[in-house]
Structure 1
């Protein structure tokens, strides 16, 4: 058992724009976060992951960075950031920054230089191409945000690659000078006291030489040519050798499309790359063949199958990150639970799952309150560039039914996670005294932090219990995971075992009672309830109530 702080930690993600506004401009900021540090300390979390706060024109809400060494004006100043870091460290918490180095903003000084002429020293910091002989784009790759991944730039008459919006040109990692510039920037922040990095789409930085397309007519998914590319491990090992290995830090890489086998290459003990990755396989259990907007009902067997595969696949080498929502995903209680009559129970049940699987749990802001998806009535109320691009492509240009597309957005859109944090029942949920940059979820009068902190039976206090248990019980962190009742259609059940200690976790994923029949050789007789989301009084050992979660410590 190799102990490490990043295995034992619980991480809390802050999306700064939506967390807390201190100056009434309707946009969350660093001083707003500073004002809530005691709330985070009280919750018990160890690490704050801060979504990007660097200077940015905000085409993609801060994921388009124009200056890696400065803070976005809307969020405050470097002094505000330093105050935040000091406040976290004074409370025994760590800060993990977002590292966005697959692309920059087109307003970054590097790109301004790069596009000015073909022989500029910064030209090769980005991926330029003259295009095909007929003048069309170099290949048929699509952008993640709809349309071609190539933009013709009039200044030099060449195309540049942008896997995201056209204001997010991809950096050219084949260029050693670019890589050195990135490593220098990382060292700058680590020297300032940052405790780690969450690396945005880090497995996209190596592209297949020649940038081929698949020969299909029209636009096509180019991911086989840039996901987990040929030099990715070389680049990450170089980054580790030159920067990360010199500090005691936490690293997690966002890695869309990564498999268990590939994840071991990224996170294996002797690989010297990353500590863990965010995989997305369980985020696709309700997506159809076409895209995430192609809504399909998910099943427990499908969700459990994915989670089980990752639990067993990384059991010997590597480490799992555990999450069910973040700034790019809908709210977990609306997606995997029941956000109406069983919101309390299902949010606690899902929390039990997250904190009792093997890996490092990531809490997204408001998750600890059971915040839900928002159902804005019109496309005009949404702010996300991905949503608007998709709506334009499907409805305006494609003639799709607006109601069907709006329903998909209400179910899966990224803005579900980006409505303001619900602090109180006051106007605008106590988020701002001004006009919020995006609408507040109308249910803030019932669902808010003030109410939750005052109510001992709230989701918030259940999270506090789970986090405290993790600190007191190494079995939650290091215990071996074993699936039981593997074909049950309503119950997800497993054990965690460390030395003589054995815990049993049983979770009802449905809104109705389910009989609990444990396999032979496993009994709760004489065992103790460690935590449960219903009162222990009146508990029937042969049946689980709707969305019931129980964790037993079994008799040795």
Structure 2
């Protein structure tokens, strides 16, 4: 169905679909997904009903952190293909009316990047200050108390040059120095390289990390830290993240993207609402279009909690800001694993009916749940460095199960990570043929969202409702809808609209039934509202 033309940019109406390339489709039988595999599955993505694909990193990398350690910002990792394969994929994406976003990693490179090799070669290197080097503390040891997000000191000693370099993540991921104009210019050229090639935007990795406080003071101790939390959380990252100078860089990214027409920038930012909202910038000096909003991941699946979260987030947005929502990613536990199969259907309805741009993570549309990873198959460096905390990300990166053939149609050999144990029945082919499947529900909701301006660009207001029920209205022009979601296991009252009457049922998480003024357990409804007669 064609959408009517409006003045809204595509990314406001659209839905983004994240693909983790290692785990989407293997085309050459090495057990790892690749660009040709993604190209072969583009018809699936197009018929799902999304508008854009976001690819996790595909650049050359030693894979210490599976692509987030970039050794060449303007190339393609041979494991995934080459630039010709990328160009074919991009052409295939555009031929299907879709957009393609790349994952830009500006905070750090790989320690195998030529820039870092030159930087660490000598204190007198022309690129020495493209990275962050410091002398030891006066009494010896690291320059300050900063902790890597993966545990341990954020500083690594380099005996050859007698200084430490900073790494917010692995020691194989040295932080770039964004206070250096030459480095900034080189990274802007990276963006131009891909924009000139035709990409439609970028998801910007750990954007709030990219500038550090001058003087590198110690971070304050977190008095609320407990041993069941990551080592990073022992400190409050006051001086190592979210510095005022980073906003000018974000604005420069936006100005460059806007110079190419209707491109979009999605910024990865984990911050409280008031600080998060600053990354929209101002109308005169805008920053990223969509500062990623992770609150559906970070908060309990509880109607009262989510009502507060949604209200507070909406209230925090500047007048020029556009909301966005996500409940799954390559870093987060699977939504079905967190809340179960029945509520995963309710979550699908919530994600696709809230005001703002949704991002859907591959595999959530078929309800992949908990995938235990045997110790001998753990690949995630974060999990390997801090075992026992339950923070492993491998469980979210398992291969996409396509059908009931050997290795789920993902590969001709054993995949790099285990498949979900129920893959023979929980796969795309099986759910495509099932009118009651989660995949069918996603497709119907995405079709409805595309057809209804009230859902894609309409206004939003929360509605008072009983315990366990989250309800809100969406409207655009004369079209008014009610979304009512039962997040509990008890039958609850269906909230009646303050004005008008309930008309047609446009979508339901459960099989069709006659409305009786109640919401069944695990039931979500999208209802058309009509004027009372």
Residues 546 and 523 of structure 1, relative CA distance in 2, 3 Å threshold: farther
SS of equivalent to 1:95: strand
- Quote the residue 2:437 is aligned against: 458
Which residue of structure 2 lines up, in the alignment, with residue 398 of structure 1? Answer: none
Match of 2:353 among 341, 353, 356: 356
Cα offset for 1:427? 1.8
The match for 1:529 is 505
The structural deviation recorded for 1:248 is: 2.2
The alpha-carbon deviation at position 334 of structure 1 amounts to: 1.6
Q: What is the match of residue 308 of structure 1? A: 311
1:430-464 Cα distance to aligned partner (Å, 9 max, x none): 11111211111111011000101111222112111
Q: Distance in 2 between matches of 1:95 and 1:157?
A: 43
8 Å CA contact 1:27–1:437 kept in 2: the answer is yes
Distance 2:505 2:156 in 1: 59
**2:398 matched to which residue of 1?**
419
Q: Unaligned 5+ residue runs, structure 2?
A: 1-5, 223-230
SS in 2 for 1:178: helix
Quick check: 1:436 aligned with 2:415?
yes
Q: Which residue of 2 aligns with 1:394?
A: none
1:248 aligns with 2:244: no
Contact 1:452 1:459 in 2 (8 A): yes
Aligned-residue offset at 1:252? 0.6
The Cα of 1:11 is off from its aligned counterpart by 0.8
Match status 1:330 vs 2:333: yes
1:194-253 CA deviation, whole Å, 9 max, x = no partner? 010000011111211111104659984251113221201111122333454333201110
| Aligned length, in residue pairs | 517
Q: Give the match for residue 399 of structure 1.
A: none
Distance 1:547 1:272 in 2: 40
Worse-superposed segment, 93-102 or 215-224: 215-224
Aligned partners of 1:228 and 1:258 also within 8 Å: no
SS of residue paired to 1:75: coil
Shift of 1:125: 0.6
Q: Name 2:32's counterpart in structure 1.
A: 27
**2:493 maps to which residue?**
516
Which has the larger displacement, 183-192 or 203-212? 203-212
The answer for the alignment partner of 1:555 in structure 2 is 530
Residues 300, 442 of structure 1: CA spacing in aligned structure 2 closer, same or farther, 3 A cutoff? same
Give a deviation string over 1:387-421, Cα, whole Å, max 9, x none. 11111xxxxxxxxxxxxx3xx52xx5311210110
Residue equivalent to 2:369:
372
In the TM superposition, what are the counterparts of 1:135-146 in structure 2 within 5 Å? Answer: 135-146=140-151
**What SS does the corresponding residue of 2:73 show, helix, strand or coil?**
strand
**In the alignment, is the contact (CA less than 8 A) between 1:267 and 1:275 conserved in 2?**
no
CA deviations on 1:84-131 (whole Å, 9 max, x unpaired) are: 001111111110000001100000000000011011011011111002
Distance between the aligned counterparts of 2:434 and 2:354, measured in 1?
27
Q: Which blocks of at least 5 consecutive residues in structure 1 are unaligned?
A: 287-297, 392-404
Output the CA distance in 1 between the equivalents of 2:416 and 2:355. 37
Distance of 2:409 and 2:349 partners within structure 1: 28
Cα distance in 1 for residues equivalent to 2:494 and 2:400? 40
2:277 maps to what in 1? 263
Q: Please give the alpha-carbon distance, in whole angstroms, between the structure 2 residues aligned to 1:276 and 1:105.
A: 27
Which of 101, 111, 125 aligns to 2:106? It is 101
- For 1:199 and 1:433, locate their aligned partners in 2 and report how far apart those are by CA, in whole Å: 33
TM-score using structure 2 length: 0.93
Counterpart-to-counterpart distance in 1, 2:292 and 2:8? 21
Corresponding residue for residue 471 of structure 1: 450
CA distance in structure 2 between the partners assigned to 1:520 and 1:47 by the alignment: 34
2:461 is matched with 482
CA distance in 2, matches of 1:223, 1:320: 25
Is residue 543 of structure 1 aligned with residue 521 of structure 2?
no
Change (3 A) 1:245 1:258: farther
